[in-house]
Amino acid sequence: MKTDMLGLNFNSLFDLLRTFDSEQTCIEYLEEIRWNGNPISPFSPNSKVYKCAENKYRCKDTGKYFNAKTDTMFDSTKIKLQKWYMAIWLITSHKKGISSHQLAKDIDVTQKTAWFMLQRIRNCFDIENNHTLDNNVEADETFVGGLEKNKHANKRTEGTQGRSCKTKTPIFGMVERGGKLVAKKVKTTASEYLTPEMVKHIKAGATLYTDEWIGYHNISEIYNHLFVNHSEKQYVKNDIYTNTVEGFWSLFKRGIVGIYHFTSKKHLQKYVDEFVFRYNTRNFATETARFDYLLKNVSNKYLPYKALIV
């Protein structure tokens, strides 16, 4: 392993390609990131491991062979790691993401393959969407789906004004001011769906800032609940506002509309995880730090194609 590689910063895609100029270099880097020089069997973690030819290892306890890609996001892939690294770099460094069509052109694969790669990468982004929030926390909801006024008259659905979920999917977001953000797809914005998410991710006793929505009216016994009344055009009242989480919604929706154009309800949470990951790693010192952070968390993230399409 070229240990001097670990100190490099990939300030551009050119730097990345210059560093990982071969499949062997990519494998060695993954081994170092994942195992820190001491290979661990995915079949029996405490087993002795024997090094074999062609970057393979054998687990003494089970007799099974494995390599750095086994039981990771890269498991069973026929795509070179260099292309995977490029895809990871592009999706994590682009603030609004990258479409499968654009990625397909950039790394010379089919659009179908690019989409599958992006979905596998998004499957790792949930590592940053399960934090516990405290102190001053803002909560708000947004909706993903086309506007009825943009549809043909005979395709419009009645009764979809306001917070209706008939044709849109609600996303509930919570952000600690100056800290982490959590965003989850929910069935509706009723309190029976919002309250469990708040209890799960926000410490009791925290100060919670929301708007006047009725879905927040039963949480005053858990949190110091303060709110602004958007229906009366009140958006800021001293320290009471939801501008932080609304700023995230703005970035999220620009990415969905401008880059991805459409997301199905089935895969929507993965796209949410993608934007949450970039938001929560926004203060990383370098792009390399974000790249390495994702590589360190690719274990147990194997995602077969069938799981995406059924």
Interval 140-179: pLDDT, tens: 999 997 665 556 555 656 655 556 566 689 999 999 999 9
Place of tokens 């397909």: 104
Asked whether the predicted pLDDT for residue 1 surpasses 50, the reply is: no
Residue 173 resides in a domain: yes
DSSP 214-240: GGGTT-TTTSEEEE--GGGT---BTTB
Residue 45 resides in a domain: yes
Average pLDDT, the chain: 91
pTM of the model: 0.90
pLDDT at 82: 96
Q: pLDDT band at residue 310, thresholds of 50, 70 and 90?
A: confident
Domain shared by 56 and 153, yes or no: no
Residues of the domain holding 216: 129-267
CATH number of the domain encompassing residue 162: 3.30.420
Note the Cα 151 to chain centre separation in Å.
30
Domain shared by 236 and 161, yes or no: yes
Domain shared by 49 and 142, yes or no: no
pLDDT at 225: 96
CA dihedral 196, 159, 257, 283 (to 10 degrees): -20
Residue 141 resides in a domain: yes
Asked whether the predicted pLDDT for residue 181 surpasses 80, the reply is: yes
Residue 250 resides in a domain: yes
Domain shared by 66 and 176, yes or no: no
Given CA atoms 196, 202, 205, 209 in this order, what sign does their dihedral have? negative
Domain shared by 133 and 263, yes or no: yes
Asked whether the predicted pLDDT for residue 244 surpasses 50, the reply is: yes
pLDDT at 11: 82
- Domains in the chain: how many in total? 2
Residue 149 resides in a domain: yes
- Dump pLDDT digits (tens) for 67-98: 999 999 999 999 999 999 999 999 999 989 99
pLDDT at 3: 46
